[in-house]
Amino acid sequence: MKVFGGLLVWLMSSVVQAAIPLGETTSGPQILTQSANFLCLQYRPVGACLWMTCTPFGCDFDWSVKIRHNIPDAVVTAYHVTGGSPWIETRGYASPNPLAQDGGTNSEGATVINETALRFKNVDVIGSPGTAWIEALQQTGYFCNPTTTPYQPYFLSTLDPNWRSPLIETPWTLRHILRYVRSGLLGGSTWGPVYPRVGFVHTGHDYKAGAVAAQRAADIVTRRLQPHVYWPMLNRGRAGQWPPGEVIEGDADTHLWQQLIPAAQATSCRVFADQGDQASGPFDPFSNRLSQNTGYAFNLWRPYRCCEREGASLIFHFGE
């Protein structure tokens, strides 16, 4: 039902044909294909569960394998022209409105190397069509249930006034002042702070701006009671099902990013920041990740743990 509901939303959405820059785009079928990625799936057994079923004639006990794997929960798009998402079917979700008219950068182009530049990114977090693969495999009993619904919006920055104003996040920013998208420990290369969780990023490198904005949006939607307009991507779980929790920047145990735009990067999953360098001089180590129309799309993979149900009650489990 999740897949059919998502497809209905897709068919009903209007595609905005505005003054949107040309460049690489993606679509639902492309995302579905790119999501069939076993390197990002990271499927493995991690333990076992003991189930009990009791009747008037006694109780039976059965074991099942506890498995862990990632699921592409959402597509996170980051782009500067309002209404110009690189995911073409969802452009109608985030059309320009009185709260969100413009975007852009004070240093035009994707390849400007000036760390003092200020860039702005709209961000959408929408359920990934890639969960359709997982739902199909889940019928075998050896895959976990996704938390998200394909094509359902969980965050649209055009509908969130606080994405354009850091004022409301001031108390949270002071509390999380050391949280950065960085490589390594303190002292490593930094791409930008996680807080304030707004669309403005101080960096001359467009890929880094898109990555930081995507990380901020993921931070919002995987937590409850945040000062933003969004729908939490959280599930309390049930017996034998342990869905993912909060995304923590740089922590591969909480999430991975699969870059869908540019498509050449879709074969691998990583955390931000995965390279400890400053993009400077004539050689840019991130040049192959840059989008020339400054629009990016990422699959957000999150880890799930579950056991096949083999009884009425789960009485014990062990493992990761």
**Residues in contact with 247: Cβ distance below 8 Å, sequence separation at least 6, in sequence order:** 215, 218, 219, 222, 254, 255, 300, 302
pLDDT reading at 1 higher than 50: no
Tell me the mean pLDDT in the region 212-229. 97
Residue 278: per-residue pLDDT: 52
pLDDT reading at 239 higher than 60: yes
Query: What type of residue sits at position 130?
Result: G
Residue 187: per-residue pLDDT: 62
**Residues in contact with 318: Cβ distance below 8 Å, sequence separation at least 6, in sequence order:** 47, 48, 66
Tell me which residue has tokens 């413009």: 102
Peptide bond into 196 cis (omega under 30): yes
pLDDT reading at 5 higher than 50: no
pLDDT reading at 203 higher than 70: yes
Percentage of residues in the chain having pLDDT higher than 90 = 60
CA-to-CA separations, 137 to 4, 69, 144, 252, 259, in angstroms, rounded = 16, 12, 9, 24, 23
Tell me the mean pLDDT in the region 210-214. 97
Relative orientation angle of helices 131-138 and 2-12, to the nearest 10 degrees: 150
How far apart (Å, rounded) are the C-alpha atoms in residues 85 and 161? 18
Residue 11: per-residue pLDDT: 38
User: What value does the mean pLDDT of the chain take?
Assistant: 85
Residue 185: per-residue pLDDT: 63
pLDDT reading at 19 higher than 50: no
Tell me the mean pLDDT in the region 126-136. 93
Tell me the mean pLDDT in the region 198-203. 93
pLDDT reading at 167 higher than 70: yes
Element (DSSP H or E) covering residue 76: strand 58-79
Helix boundaries (H) for the chain:
2-12, 28-34, 38-41, 131-138, 170-175, 206-221
Residue 270 pLDDT level (bands cut at 50, 70, 90): very high
